[in-house]
Structure 1
Amino acid sequence: MYKLRGHHLFCLLGYRGMGYSQEYVENMTRLHQTLRDNPKMRIQLVKGPDQLCEKYPNSGVYHCQDINIYERDAVILEKLGLKIGQILNWEDIESSIRKSVIPSDIQIVCKSCSWRSYGVCEEGIQEIIEGKGLREVK
């Protein structure tokens, strides 16, 4: 079982192999591939730093404890109708995304995210809506 915070549910949709450090990328790629290969993988929704944050580089300000990140987590969980502490399969999270999210939501929900400008999160949401699942990371 993986422990994930709210906004990382969206980050996984747009993930294309880029990240904050090599260690972070390796960790994110491993999780992404696991969920892609096994959509029944169980996820526990947590408040605050999760298993992806564990590999965030220690370079000064700890991004994972920023109040804006907590707010983004809460907004995304609310949008998906999910709650902290809930345990569900990744495919159930994808189902919630299909029912509750449209690609343009990224522009509002993730407006302060530095990765938003790449446009990959909107693509990821669209692919989930189309039933394609997570995109393969090469």
Structure 2
Amino acid sequence: MYELRGHHLFCLLGYRGMGYSQEFVKNMTHVHQKLRNNPQTLIKLVKGPDHLCAKYPNDGEQHCQDEHIYDRDAVILERLGLKIGQVISWEEVEQQITENVVPSDIMSICESCTWRTYGVCEEGVQEVLDGKGLRKIN
């Protein structure tokens, strides 16, 4: 079981093998591919730093503790109808995305995210809506 915060549910949709450091990319790729290959994998929704934050580079910037990140977490969980402490499968997360999100939501929900400009998160939402799930990372 992985602990994930709200905004990482969307980050996983757009993930394409890029990140903040080699260690972060290795960890994110591992989690991403585990969820892709076994969508029944359980996740626990948490408030604050999670399994992915654990490998965020310790460069002095407290990205994972930023209040705007907590706000984004809350907005995404609310949009998906999910709650902190809930344990669900990745498959159920994708179902909630299918029922509650469209690609253009990324523009407003993740407005301040630097990764948003790549357009990969909108693609990831569309792939879930098309029943493709998470993209394979090479």
TM-score range, shorter chain: over 0.9
* Cα distance in 1, alignment partners of residues 3 and 79 from structure 2: 19
Runs of 4+ aligned residues of structure 1 deviating over 2 Å after TM superposition are none
Give the 5 Å matches for 1:31-110.
Answer: 31-110=31-110
Q: Following the alignment from structure 2 to structure 1, what is the Cα–Cα distance between the partners of residues 39 and 116?
A: 25
Residue 91 of structure 1: CA displacement? 0.2
The corresponding residue for 2:29 is: 29
Residue 111 of structure 1 corresponds to 111
SS of corresponding position for 2:114? coil
Which amino acid in 2 is paired with 1:52? L
Deviations 1:118-137 (A, max 9, x none): 00000000000010000001
Query: How far apart are the structure 2 equivalents of 1:129 and 1:99?
Result: 9
Task: Determine helix, strand or coil for the equivalent of 1:3.
Answer: strand
1:132 & 1:61 partners in 2: Cα distance?
A: 35
Q: Deviations over 1:7-47 (max 9, x none)?
A: 00000000000000000000000000000010000000000
- Aligned AA (2:103): P
In angstroms, what is the RMSD of aligned CA positions?
Answer: 0.3
SS in 1 for 2:44: strand
Distance 2:43 2:107 in 1: 25
State the partner residue of 2:18: 18
Identity %: 68
TM-score scaled by structure 2? Answer: 0.99
Q: 1:49, CA displacement in angstroms? A: 0.1
Counterpart-to-counterpart distance in 2, 1:24 and 1:62: 15
Where in structure 1 are there 5+ consecutive unaligned residues?
Answer: none
Give ranges in structure 2 of 5+ residues lacking alignment: none
Instruction: Look up the match of 1:134.
Output: 134
TM-score relative to the length of structure 1: 0.99
TM superposition shift of 1:61: 1.5
What secondary structure is seen at the aligned counterpart in 2 of 1:43?
strand
Give the letter for the 1:9 counterpart.
Answer: L
Residue type at the aligned position of 1:29? T
What is the deviation of 1:77?
Answer: 0.2
